[in-house]
Structure 1
Amino acid sequence: MYRVGVDVGGTNTDAAFLDINAVDTASRGVLATCKTSTTTHVTQGIKTAVETVLLQSKVDRSKVLNVAIGTTHFVNAVVENDARRLSRVAVIRLCGPYTRKIPPFSDFPYALRNIIEGPHFFLDGGLEIDGREIASLNTEQIKQTALTIVEAGIRYVAVVGVFSALDHEGIHEERCKALLQQFQPDLSIVCSHSIGGPGLLPRENATILNASILAFARKTIHGFRLAMTKLDLACPLYLTQNDGTLTDAAVAAELPIKTFASGPTNSLMGAAFLQSLDHGDKTLADRQVVVVDIGGTTTDLCALLPSGFPRQAPNFIEVGGVRTAFSMPEVLSIGLGGGSRVRQLEENKVSVGPDSVAHRLTTDAMVFGGTVMTSTDIVVASGSASVGRDDHVKDIPEPFIAGAKADIKRQLEQAIDSMKVSSAPVTVLLVGGGSIIITEDLNGVEECLRPPHHDSANAVGAAIAKVAGEIDVIEVLAGRDENEVVENAKKAAINAAIANGADEKTVQIVEIKKIPLQYVTNKATRLVMKAVGNLRIEQEASLCLHRDSVTNGTVDDTEDYEAGEETTKTEVTTCKQGSLAKPTLGVDLTSYRPQVENGIWYISPIDVEFIASGTGILGTGGGGSSYLMALYTLETLREHGAGKIRIIRPDSLNDTDICVGGAGYGAPSVSDERIGNGTDVFTAIDAINTIMNIKDFQGLLVLEIGGGNGLVAMPSSARYDRPVVDCDLMGRAYPTLEHGTPFVYGKPILPVATADCKGNASVVVTAESNKRTEALIRNTCIELGNSTGTAGRPLDGETVKKYTVPNTISQAWYLGRAVHLARQTKVDFIEAISSITPVKSLYTGKIIDVTRDVSKGYTVGRCVLAPLSVDEAVDHNTSTTASEKRYLVIPFQNEYLSASYVDDEKAEGEEDVICTVPDLISILGQDGEALGSPELRYGLKVRVIGMPAHPLWTGTPEGLRVGGPEFFGLPTEWKSIGEYRRPRSVIEEFESSESIDT
């Protein structure tokens, strides 16, 4: 009873042969391993590697239970924009009137989009957050759509239903798929509910990529099967998935995207197995295990969870420049390996990597007679390894050797620290052929282990992979027994694992996630359950052979497409790395000037990207992501053309001019899935204008500059052909409408309208208080699906000039430009920000604890940061803060509320408050982009900044009562972060200078 594991990498193809009855032995049942070069025709390399281990083991091939293959072949086709391996895809959204403001493919890189993009369709269907239908499926719509797709010469279709995660069996998507194939049998359909969880755009992107790779995946996996046939292997064929589990070849041929990251996962799973951590080792419960896979060029690191599976990456993953949402392990890669070049930078300082001689190690390294000094040469010279000719490196000076070893040690220690998830002890498992470069103890690591057969851990991981069943659904828990719902979800995951081929006796739940959605009152909760078990030994080969041929299409018996073949490339290759979402790529930002003429600022795509980054910083942890609103604004620019979105100064208004404003209102978890069509804000504005008999208006207002709402007025500028006024009603993000500065000072907030994308609108005309107004529109928002547009009472020019925060669109632009310029010119982004606005650097550190509670309908929590080590501070160019030994604690209610020094990491002692609301607190990642409170997690290295709030908040009792610590229940008084300075105006600065409309 034997298993064969294969891992196909870019350089080498590894194979391992295991006796599953001998896994309790010292060798863990590994009978033979092989490492061979990955061939141009990948199936030939697989055949060579498998044949080698079969011959070495001298085992009857009929006793081989299965072959499991991990490959990067499919993801490489996407990353390389390979038109030979990718197909055009039509996209069907089941959405009713929603999602139109951001069409499919909006954030694809141009080169990939040119290859893949087919027509897209918005059809009836989809669900609300509470399970109600947005609209029923329309059979005639689907029939006509199928005909249109076929007439366009397209065979591959992605079907994406709004809140399909609520639709447990994907009923809307699956019914649409059945109808499409009924009308056009040759169509191949991929449903998004089988790909990812909530978040429409990234789930749709992943579904599109999966559909595009279908033809290539089917042909490649058919080639794998042919290779097995030539080796006289009649056993089932499996592929390893991103999470370290198996899927049979037929399923992999339909869902190839789930194998994209199988390589690093195989190494991790193989390392844990070879170190016997799968034998119920209880130390996994109270320690961390980090697998360090060192190759010739790079080192890959991944954390092992107590379940025995890799830690999954948070938020979204970019594949080939496309933002996607599907299960992927969190892997950190650094430029350090056995072939890394070693250089003397300056006196007493040696650098190792990140460049490498790679596959030329055996010819270029000094120990092999070459002239390039590598990390392998250093290890041999130190006497810690015996590779090649040690006499070739005997003249390397001891100080140089020590310096190189110190740099290797430093890089690995910092990488390991980045993968930690807690302060528990760390065990490191070293695998890979380059692991010989580790010669001494690592700080922060309790033990460092090198398992047997460590150089073939990836192939072993494929051979021993288990079978999983996973569900990712949203359940409405209001009025239901929560324990019963959770138990039913567990059973569904277990049944899914058994259906996928797991041995029923070994299946167990290894992961339970309950994620309540924000701002909902029906207790809608995302449940993610994973069950894992051993592969059933009695799986019949005939089943796999039959299913392997059922690929919803046909394949021939030829080899798969290969990288070495000559082919006609796609003609459109300009802006290869660019996309609609990233207009600054490839642009010299030092010479860019916004277009300002006659007191009017005409917004360009570059301006949108700058402003989106800036509104993220001004969001102070809340306000939602600016990403979707930036995409919508860019689509609006593309549709309406340059010059349609424009900004004017507040002081250009007459006192009697009328300004209207709208904003998004509701739960980010809903608006990220049930993306609007843009009409909800327009409907709300029109409702207010109708009630107040406003026939015309002169300007549009930003109600909240923080987060996505900072961009909402820009599409309205194109819609109404009116300019946006360079100001807003908060100067930051705040959680309620009553935080609008005019309303703080007694200006009437009513009437207020709330509207959805179906044309429903509700208007609150009178209420006893601003607080009651908030409650009324919140209830309306819930009825309309928890994501709406809202508009308040229009303001006259006099009020705008007196009671709004001026130049905040400009402020967002300058902040975003500073961050983007800092990245492009390699300068410190805090220094860049401080050169254009008052900012105080509060802390530089790493997150060591995050707690959250959503029981109140909104997120409250606390984040604790620890100081960086001296080496980390130097690497981050933050030596000025390296002396700070205290910790920092930041409580948040969506937005960050205060920042305080504490003496211990538990943050239970006396706090030294250094900043509070209404002053702004922002947490920035290493690229300078702001992190929202939902994105905080252990191990992130961050910079914390504070910015003074406008005197409308800090200069009066009214402002502090609504915007300060008292409103949020903080047991402290406001403490000023510094003197407020009016933001610079883009219009004033660039009107007199030469401007460039890019």
Structure 2
Amino acid sequence: MPPLYRIGVDVGGTNTDAAIIDIAATDSPSRGVCAATKTPTTPDVTSGIYTSIENALAQSQVQRQDVVSVAIGTTHFVNAVVQADARRLSKVAVVRLCGPFTKQIPPFTEFPEDLKGIMGGPVFYLDGGLEIDGREISPLNPSQIQQTISAIQSAGIKMIALVGIFSPLDHSGIHEETCKKQMLALDPTLSIVCSHSIGGVGLLERENATILNASILTLARKTVRAFCNAMVRLQLDCPLYLTQNDGTLTDAATAAELPIKTFASGPTNSMTGAAFLASLDKGTRGSEEEATTQVLVVDVGGTTSDVCALLPSGFPRQAPNFVDVGGVRTAFSMPEVLSVGLGGGSKVVVDGETGEVRVGPESVGHYLTQQAMVFGGDVMTATDVVVASGKGDIGDKKRLEGRVSSEVASKARAQIKKMLERAVDSMKISALPVKLLLVGGGSIIQMDDLEGVAECVIPPHHDSANAVGAAIAKVAGEVDMIELLAQRDEKQVLDEAKQRAIEVAVARGADRHDVKIVEVEKIPLAYATNKATRLIIKAVGRLAPPDAQEASKLQDVAARNDSGVAINDESDEEDSSAPISKPKSLHSSVKHAIHVDFDTYKPDVRDKVWYLSAVDLEFIAAGTGVLGTGGGGPSRQQYLISLQLLQTPGNEGKMRVVAPPSLNDADICASGSWFGAPSTSGERLPAGDELTKAIDHCMRLAGKDTFHAMITDEIGGGNGMSAFASGVAYDVPVVDGDLMGRAYPTMEHCLPFVYGEKLTPCVGTDGRGNVAAVLNAENNRRVETMLRSQCVDLGLMIGVSSAPLTGEAVKKYVVPNTISQSWYIGRAVYHARRSKSNMIKAIFDTSPGKLLYTGKIVDVRRDVTRGYTMGYCLIAPLSADERETTVEPDVANESRCLVVPFQNEFLYAAYADEHSPEDQSKQEVICTVPDLISILAQDGEAIGSQELRYGLKVNVIAMAAHPLWTTEAGLKVGGPRGFDLDMEWTKLGDYWEPRSVIEEFNRAG
């Protein structure tokens, strides 16, 4: 058998690394690495790649005909976005297949102004799109498509982002692909990117990523063709691949069409390369070791250290939430990497007065060999500490004599140890001991045993792990679908889905005999009664044996667009003499508080009417998250809707808030809120008239011709802001208060209905004109169940309006000033972030409460019962070193774990046995509903029950419920018994009525 070699290249900001792997020698101690080289990264990227490969071939003496593949990881494409480089970015038209939906939040809403100015093209809303269960919202309309293409041609645009509602859950992206085919038939010169090939559920984030991908297509095709030409000059006749964000390969042709999937491949290459070099892929870890340890990788450079957890599949853990790229919120797959300011070049600073020693985050970077003391410089670095401690033979140790004392070295060494321990602990995926892999040129700074780390390994060729990771990357196939499991063989459905993932991997070039299922995720959908379950399955296998004809075809296709038309660029190479764009100031179009002086900012309150601003909305969004007690849905979507309306010409002065006492007893107050599942609300965005239609029908059924104000059902989460849009639509104010004082899972939890006010008529509507009304019901719980069945039929998200209330009833049952309370909490959170002050103290200065616990989530369990997301999270205490803020002694000294069960919202908090947290006989309850329990991240951001995950460091806080909840009638519905909990409510503390923005900032005229 002739020798076979794979070449891996990783293009970094400073260096371009290349490595050559002998496939037949991967069982050797060197893992088959024949050569590894570093070359300065060049402005045109391609020249550096050429040089690095040429040097590696020369060093290894490998014959070119024996190279079977080249894999490249590059940051070239993401740099164009981050730099907002207009020379490299194209204008994009956006086409949504959505029927009547999504119009309330248009495309480009979250783009910074600079990028929007460069990329922002015309927007079209066409028939099409799917419901969460696969039903059509509406069929495609060929005449609409034809009209859209004519308009795009008139605008002179060639790039199109095509986005269909719930397209990622369709097995073949049928609506998007069918529409694309019809568009290309009308104009074959167009370049069309379908969103289902870019990301998962979450329409705005997937759409944003699709727009970015479409905008860099010309650059990607040109760059990939340049890579192919470099291979021709290198006389390498083999397939070319690019590495993707998740650590797998994509062929050159696909990379030229989906470049966004290569944006973050660098860190992933380092992590997978580390695992390979440490022989973790060889099965050297026995089943016993796999069950008792977890693997983390630390890639130590000159300035920073990147830390990532490796899953049992051998791939890095992916970021669970959304990722910002160039200021744009996206949802494509990206590894979760923690970067800390610690590297070989980190500066070591000694405080002359206290003698305290600080390491980093400042660094000498690539000037290490000039500025570090061991190389004759005058800057003390982490590398100097390593040498002074006798842990490294670098430079000239004699140069440290009399300059780095043993005391300073010892303190710096202890600081480095603590920083590494904190980083490792932050990225752990379980409580098991850690096997730590150290790679990168700066890995020598790890000098001492780390707490919780069972073993530290510095593998061979550790400083070239990134290039090695590219060389050995595998191929993946993934399916993401909704299946209805009621009355079906669940195992059979799962097996069929697994086989589909395997076939996708094989189609992408994986060896069928090596493909394995590495990830299976089952997510039951709330409210669904047919066991609707989202399945996410990933299959991975090594690259199949090469085919010379396939290599030639790939390189040819890489230079063409998806319709087979050659790209007419002036040159295959980039102009290396052209000036490199400097990163621009990307002013966010949705972040306004960052420009505000919090100490001097005053809301606009005139004659006891509060006129909201963009800054006010941002504060309120943060505060409603805290008051959401784990539920209420995310506030961000309603913030974007409110912001759009606020900034629409003609709406000046219409978004306003008044105090409850300003109402007359005979005034009529309407309500409108969202009812349904978060899994739908993030994808099928509102049409814009759901709430107003519900209100109109409800008013008519109640026999009311007009109303005078809007009242918010629940202040917690997204519904805490939903009344603002309706207030603008009807030009009426919103009352500063709500009907719950928090978030609760059902409509019967509104206080007026708890105390006998009539809930019916109650109307639910969707964006297609469907209207469902409950005119009467035997009790409030029956209203809830009747509405929920309609909600399922209408796609798991509707607008709801309940019976209007008089001003007298509102004043009697409202929880007052909760919009103000949200504003004060949000301002406190933003202020504490900027000033680096105590976040919890800042919140409690505005809304008195109690810190229940500070710790790290170590377990999360979820299920769907009776339509609700049920479960609990278990939180373990932090050590003193892990705490980022000072906390009360009783919290700081707590050694027990805390369990927080939830039914959408958090129900209670109790000290629990870590081995059996659900056992109520071993629990000590410290807080229950109706008191408010919220879980906050270290930055004060509220964490919803659907966002809980292992490893998050959190603060659990509580605030007292309004007195109307603590009566016998209130506790019957909103207390523990209302949720079938066998426990009694114990008073947390006295309720304090929230401060009023209107009273504090009112001015005449």
CA distance in 2, matches of 1:579, 1:483: 47
Task: Give the SS at the match of 2:109.
Answer: coil
Which position in structure 1 is the counterpart of 2:571? 558
The aligned residue for residue 755 of structure 1 is 765
Following the alignment from structure 1 to structure 2, what is the Cα–Cα distance between the partners of residues 432 and 137?
A: 52
Deviation at 1:154, TM superposition (A): 1.4
Q: Report deviation, 1:340.
A: 0.6
TM-score w.r.t. the length of structure 1 is: 0.97
- CA distance in structure 1 between the partners assigned to 2:595 and 2:749 by the alignment: 40
Aligned pairs (5 A) from 1:822-833:
822-833=832-843
**Contact 2:83–2:581 (8 Å) recurs in 1:** no
Tell me which of 711, 714, 720 is aligned to 1:704.
714
Q: How big is each residue's C-alpha offset from its partner over 1:224-244, in whole Å with a ceiling of 9 and x where there is no partner?
A: 111111111111110011111
1:988 aligns with 2:999: yes
Evaluate the alpha carbon distance shift between residue 879 and residue 56 of structure 1 in structure 2; reply closer, same or farther with a 3 A threshold.
farther
Q: Aligned partners of 1:921, 1:431: CA distance in 2, in Å?
A: 42
Determine whether 1:363 maps to 2:370. Answer: yes
Q: Assess if the C-alpha contact under 8 Å between 1:664 and 1:790 holds in 2.
A: yes
Mapping 1:691-770, distance limit 5 Å: 691-770=701-780
- Following TM superposition, by how much is the alpha carbon of 1:561 offset from its aligned partner in structure 2, in angstroms? 4.3
Closer/same/farther in 2, CA of residues 246 and 870 from structure 1, 3 Å limit: same
Q: Is it true that 1:499 corresponds to 2:510 in the alignment?
A: no
Deviation at 1:992, TM superposition (A): 3.6
The structure 2 residue matched to 1:397, chosen from 397, 402, 405, is 405
Query: C-alpha deviations, 1:863-901, integer Å up to 9, x for none?
Result: 11111111112x333374322222211111110111112
Give the 3 Å change call, closer, same or farther, for CA 313–562 of structure 1 in structure 2: farther
Does the residue aligned with 1:636 lie in a helix, a strand or coil?
helix
SS in 1 for 2:334: coil
Q: Distance in 1 between matches of 2:69 and 2:625?
A: 50
Cα deviation for residue 111 of structure 1 reads 2.0
Counterpart selection for 1:204 from 183, 203, 207: 207
Contact persistence 1:42–1:562 (CA under 8 A): no
> Is 2:981 aligned against 1:973?
no
Contact 1:84 1:561 in 2 (8 A): no
Change (3 A) 1:911 1:472: same
Is 1:384 paired with 2:391? Answer: yes
Q: Quote the residue 1:580 is aligned against.
A: 589
Inter-CA distance 567–71: structure 2 relative to 1 (3 Å threshold): closer
2:928 maps to 1:916? yes
State how 1:896-935 maps to structure 2 within 5 Å. 896-902=906-912, 904=914, 906-907=916-917, 908=919, 910-935=922-947
Within the candidate set 622, 634, 654, 1:613 is matched to 622
Q: For the structure 1 residues 609 and 372, does the alpha-carbon distance in structure 2 shift closer, same or farther, using more than 3 Å as the test?
A: same
Aligned length: 988
State the partner residue of 1:125. 128
Any conservation in 1 of the 2:43–2:580 contact (CA below 8 Å)? no
Aligned to 1:419: 427
Whole-angstrom CA distance in 2 between matches of 1:627 and 1:563: 42
Structure 1 range deviating more: 941-950 or 222-231: 222-231
CA spacing shift, 1:278–1:632, aligned 2, 3 Å: same
Select 1:936's aligned residue among 933, 948, 951: 948
Give the CA deviation at 1:562. 6.5
Q: Quote the Cα distance in structure 2 between the aligned partners of 1:306 and 1:562.
A: 44
Structure 1's 567 and 271: CA in aligned 2 closer, same or farther, altered over 3 A? closer
1:854 corresponding residue in structure 2: 864
Secondary structure, counterpart of 1:380 in structure 2: helix
Aligned-pair Cα RMSD in Å: 1.6
* 8 A contact 1:223–1:558 mirrored in 2: no
Q: Would the aligned equivalents of 2:606 and 2:1004 in 1 still touch at CA under 8 Å?
A: no
CA contact (8 A) 2:474 2:541 kept: yes
Paired residue type of 1:783: D
Show structure 1 runs of 5+ residues with no match.
none
Distance 2:53 2:801 in 1: 66
Displacement after TM superposition at 1:328 (Å): 1.1
Cα separation, 1, equivalents of 2:571 and 2:589: 38
Task: Name which of structure 1's ranges 144-153 and 301-310 shifts more when overlaid on structure 2.
Answer: 144-153
Structure 1 position 586, deviation (Å):
2.1
2:902 to 885, 889, 892: 892
**Match for 1:774: what amino acid?**
E
Q: Secondary structure at the match of 1:585?
A: helix
Q: Is the 8 A contact 1:129 1:524 kept in 2?
A: no
The CA distance in 1 between the partners of 2:998 and 2:638, in whole Å, is 23
Q: Residues 560 and 314 from structure 1, CA distance in 2 versus in 1: closer, same or farther, beyond 3 angstroms?
A: farther
Contact (CA 8 Å) 2:83, 2:582: kept in 1 or not?
no
TM-superposition CA deviations, 1:798-817 (whole Å, max 9, x none)? 10000111111111111111
- Identical aligned residues as a percent: 59
C-alpha deviation, 1:514, in angstroms: 1.1
One-letter code aligned to 2:49: I
Counterpart among 1, 25, 29 of residue 22 in structure 1: 25
Shift of 1:578: 3.4
Structure 1 CA distance, aligned partners of 2:576 and 2:647?
36
- Measured after TM superposition, the shift of residue 550 of structure 1 is 3.0
Name 1:11's counterpart in structure 2. Answer: 14
* Structure 2 equivalent of residue 334 of structure 1: 340
Structure 1: how far apart are the matches of 2:582 and 2:701? 58
Is the 1:658–1:797 Cα contact (8 Å) retained in structure 2? yes
Matched residue, 1:521:
529
AA of the residue aligned to 1:814:
Y
State the SS of the aligned residue for 1:506.
coil
The residue that corresponds to 1:535 in the other structure is: 543
Greater CA drift, 36-45 or 478-487: 478-487
- Check the 8 A contact 2:737/2:815 in 1, yes or no: yes
Q: CA deviation at 1:221?
A: 1.0
1:549 shift after superposition: 2.9
Contact in 2 for aligned 1:197/1:473 (Cα 8 Å): no
* CA distance in structure 1 between the partners assigned to 2:846 and 2:520 by the alignment: 46
| 2:762 maps to amino acid | V
User: 1:630 corresponds to which letter in structure 2?
Assistant: Y
**Cα distance in structure 2, aligned partners of 1:45 and 1:209:** 26
CA distance in 2, matches of 1:501, 1:333: 33
Q: SS at the partner of 2:201?
A: coil
Show the counterpart of 2:818.
Answer: 808
1:216 match: secondary structure: helix
Deviations 1:965-990 (A, max 9, x none): 00112221101111001111110110
The structural deviation recorded for 1:82 is 1.8
Kindly provide the CA deviation profile for residues 294-352 of structure 1, in whole angstroms up to 9, marking residues without a partner as x: 00011001111111111111121222222111211111111110011110135342111
Determine helix, strand or coil for the equivalent of 1:186: coil
User: 1: CA distance between counterparts of 2:226 and 2:532?
Assistant: 45
Instruction: Indicate which of 314, 318, 324 corresponds to 2:324.
Output: 318
Matched, 1:192 2:190: no
Structure 1 residue 492: Cα displacement: 1.0
The letter for the 1-side match of 2:416 is I
1:465/1:138 CA distance change after superposition, 3 Å = same
Instruction: Say if 2:661 is the partner of 1:656.
Output: no
Given that 2:933 and 2:956 are in contact with CA atoms closer than 8 Å, whether structure 1 keeps it comes out as yes
Partner SS state of residue 967, structure 1: helix
Residue 268 of structure 1: CA displacement?
A: 0.7
| Counterpart Cα distance in 2 of 1:129 and 1:71 | 36
Instruction: Select which of 461, 464, 473 maps to 1:456.
Output: 464
Distance 1:847 1:784, change over 3 A: same
Asked if structure 1 preserves the Cα contact closer than 8 Å seen for 2:298 and 2:438, the reply is yes
- Segments of 5+ residues of structure 2 without an aligned counterpart are none
Q: Which amino acid aligns with 2:993?
A: R
- CA deviation after TM superposition for structure 1 residue 419, in Å: 0.7
- Does the 8 A contact of 2:191 with 2:561 survive in 1? no
AA in 2 matched with 1:133? E
